[in-house]
């Protein structure tokens, strides 16, 4: 009897031990499964980071956030794309937007497509049947809502803008893998002469590093597209020869912005020489018009005059008037398309040069400098407002007192001929401005002579 009781106790004990061990095994298995699942999730995230492009991106370029911006850019490029976009729908948009609709049409990647010049050029290319794909980082150098407004306008014409940065090599690689671009119209840049004194790094990041990154992608593309890109009249700096010609000195920049654009021209020469890239630089002279940049004088003069605020009208240190070769946006667009249409093919393949390639530089201006005082007088007439002018000497911030373009070379090579005078161009700008911002105007802004020449 005692023996049977001992056997039963032993069986109960063994059963208890088995249950304990089973529980421990389940707990251990659960922990192992959790760790394996976590590892797989991390690997999947890493896979998406490497293989898919970003769908949204934003950089704050305000002075008080410069350090934050550098971290943001690094993080954005590191996380180039995972959960923000990509996939078949995104690729379908990219392919559809970049597909030409006419025989022998171009397929153009437009950088800075949500910018002033970029949006106008994109529309002009699309309207004539070319394929257009945009890329823009929608930074906050000026109000991003204006850039988003341009994006919506382009979307109405089936132009897709990739939300990303030209410094993102992974993104650019994917775009060039998807689309065999025939041309690149490179207009992305950190603009503005004065802002360079507040945030110099943004100019190096965009105008130099971004340009080099783009050229690196182009040199490896097959086929290599031809590149037309925006330099600036600012490269003439302290040049005193008038009018400014392409063979004048450009080794005395008056601002960091000008220096980065001049550096871009030298970098373009290098990539043309080593890799056979076809490169055309366009030196824009003070572009203005509808959908323009709020940091430009004609734009913020209009804003302040409408609001009854005083405006600063600069004169030189010796009291002379400041003048600019104001060039209407439609004339600039015609110049950009003319340069694209006459751009020869790049001669490289697989990153190696196969023969001499085209290298060009052109001025795109109006050839008719107008004083800032005259600009204000025209705006007063169009807005029916008397400006509260504060005449003051120009600060030493990199601005130059006078610009004047010689466009003989552009006229000879692709028929460039500006046709819009400042009065007609500003009338179109003011008409857009009062409509876009919902301002009541007491003036009739339509005119039959919108394309006359001063």
Q: Residues 107-128, buried b or exposed e (16+ Cβ, 10 A)?
A: bbbbbbbbbbbbbbbbbbbbee
Q: What is the largest CA-CA distance in the chain?
A: 125
- Strand 279-284 with 226-230, pairing: parallel
- Strand 279-284 with 359-364, pairing: parallel
Helix or strand holding residue 50 (H, E)? helix 2-51
- Strand 348-349 with 352-353, pairing: antiparallel
Strand partners, 283: 363
With a CB cutoff of 8 Å and minimum separation 6, the contacts of 392 are 312, 313, 314, 315
With a CB cutoff of 8 Å and minimum separation 6, the contacts of 216 are 169
Q: How far out from the chain centre does Cα 423 lie?
A: 28
Q: Counting Cβ atoms within 10 Å, is residue 191 exposed (0-12), middle (13-18) or buried (19+)? A: buried
- Contact 405/366 with Cβ under 8 angstroms? yes
Q: 65-70 long-range contacts, Cβ below 8 Å, gap at least 24?
A: 66/199, 66/201, 66/202, 69/202, 70/201
Known catalytic membership, residue 203: no
Please tell me which residue in 141, 257, 328, 362 is annotated as part of the active site: 257
Residues catalogued as catalytic? 257
């Amino acid at each position: 009897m005692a023996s049977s009781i001992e056997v039963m106790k032993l069986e109960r004990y063994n059963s208890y031990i088995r249950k304990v061990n089973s529980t421990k095994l389940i707990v251990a298995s659960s922990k192992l499964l959790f760790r394996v699942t976590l590892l797989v999730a991390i690997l999947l995230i890493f896979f998406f980071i490497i293989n898919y492009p970003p769908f949204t991106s934003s950089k704050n370029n305000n002075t008080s956030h410069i350090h934050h911006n550098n971290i943001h850019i690094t993080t954005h490029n590191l996380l180039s794309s995972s959960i923000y976009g990509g996939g078949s729908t995104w690729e379908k948009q990219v392919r559809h937007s970049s597909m030409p609709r006419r025989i022998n049409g171009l397929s153009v990647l437009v950088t800075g497509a949500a910018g002033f010049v970029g949006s106008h050029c994109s529309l002009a290319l699309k309207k004539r049947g070319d394929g257009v794909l945009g890329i823009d980082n929608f930074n906050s150098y000026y109000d991003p809502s204006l850039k988003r407004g341009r994006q919506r306008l382009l979307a109405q014409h089936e132009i897709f803008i990739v939300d990303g940065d030209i410094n993102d090599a992974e993104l650019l690689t994917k775009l060039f893998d998807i689309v065999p671009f025939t041309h690149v119209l490179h207009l992305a840049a950190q603009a503005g002469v004065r802002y360079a004194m507040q945030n110099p790094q943004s100019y190096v990041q965009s105008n130099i590093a971004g340009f080099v990154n783009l050229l690196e992608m182009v040199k490896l593309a097959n086929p290599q597209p031809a590149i037309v890109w925006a330099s600036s009249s600012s490269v003439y700096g302290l040049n005193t020869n008038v009018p400014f010609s392409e063979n004048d000195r450009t080794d005395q920049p008056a601002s960091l912005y000008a220096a980065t654009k001049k550096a871009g021209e030298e970098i373009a020469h290098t990539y043309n020489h080593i890799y056979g890239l076809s490169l055309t630089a366009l030196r824009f002279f003070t572009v203005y018009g509808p959908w323009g940049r709020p940091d430009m004088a004609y734009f913020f003069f209009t804003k302040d005059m409408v609001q009854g605020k005083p405006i600063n009208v600069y004169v030189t240190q010796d009291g002379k008037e400041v003048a600019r070769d104001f060039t209407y946006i439609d004339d600039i667009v015609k110049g950009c398309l003319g340069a694209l249409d006459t751009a020869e093919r790049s001669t490289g393949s697989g990153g190696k040069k196969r023969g001499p390639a085209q290298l060009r530089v052109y001025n795109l201006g109006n050839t008719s400098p107008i004083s800032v005082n005259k600009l204000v007088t025209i705006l007063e007439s169009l807005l029916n407002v008397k400006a509260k002018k504060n005449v003051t000497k120009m600060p030493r911030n990199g601005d130059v007192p006078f610009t004047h373009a010689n466009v003989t070379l552009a006229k000879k090579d692709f028929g460039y001929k500006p046709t819009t005078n400042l009065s007609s161009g500003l009338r179109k700008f003011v008409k857009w401005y009062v409509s876009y911002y919902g301002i009541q105007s007491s003036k009739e802004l339509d005119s039959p002579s919108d394309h006359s020449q001063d």
